[in-house]
Copies of this chain bind each other. A is one copy, B any other.
């Protein structure tokens, strides 16, 4: 548990440099929190990162998270009724959201590329990412009578 800082540095230094970004303890902490707590909002990342880095500012989290999403190190998820959410698992999965409690789950699709996710299906735009968002009730919300 004391190796976290070291591990984060080992894991993210290279990708950060490749993206032309500096390796700061704030960025390492945010990347680490986004890995251990996927689908976190900026505020949640801030709360988690503060445990390891008490001085980190919420504004910094927003700035960093925007920057890292733009440079491809973070994936951004826009979920109804909550702020943006972030994760370090970038590819090969989609998301299901509970319309009642807001729970987000990862959804992996069969490995054969579905035709509807082929970028060329959209005419007149250069599509680079196609993602599926499922809306419904999670197990516990579906169980609760209402």
Contacts and interface: CB of A to CB of B under 8 A. Distances in A.
B107 A121 contact: yes
A115 B111 CA distance: 12
A49 to B, nearest CB: 22
B132 A132 contact: yes
Contact of A128 (B136, B138, B139): B136
B125 A130 contact: no
Interface of A: 76, 78-80, 84, 96, 98-99, 105, 107, 109-110, 114-117, 119, 121-122, 124-139, 142
Chain A interface SS verdict (over half): strand
A2 B139 CA distance: 50
B127 A135 contact: yes
Nearest to A143: B126
Given A80-B84, A131-B132, A132-B131, A125 B109 contact: no
Given A132-B132, A134-B130, A109 B80 contact: no
A136 to B, nearest CB: 4
A125 B105 CA distance: 9
Contacts of A121: 107, 109
- Ranked nearest first, the 7 interchain pairs of A and B with the lowest CB-CB distance are A127-B136, A114-B116, A78-B78, A129-B135, A126-B137, A127-B134, A126-B142
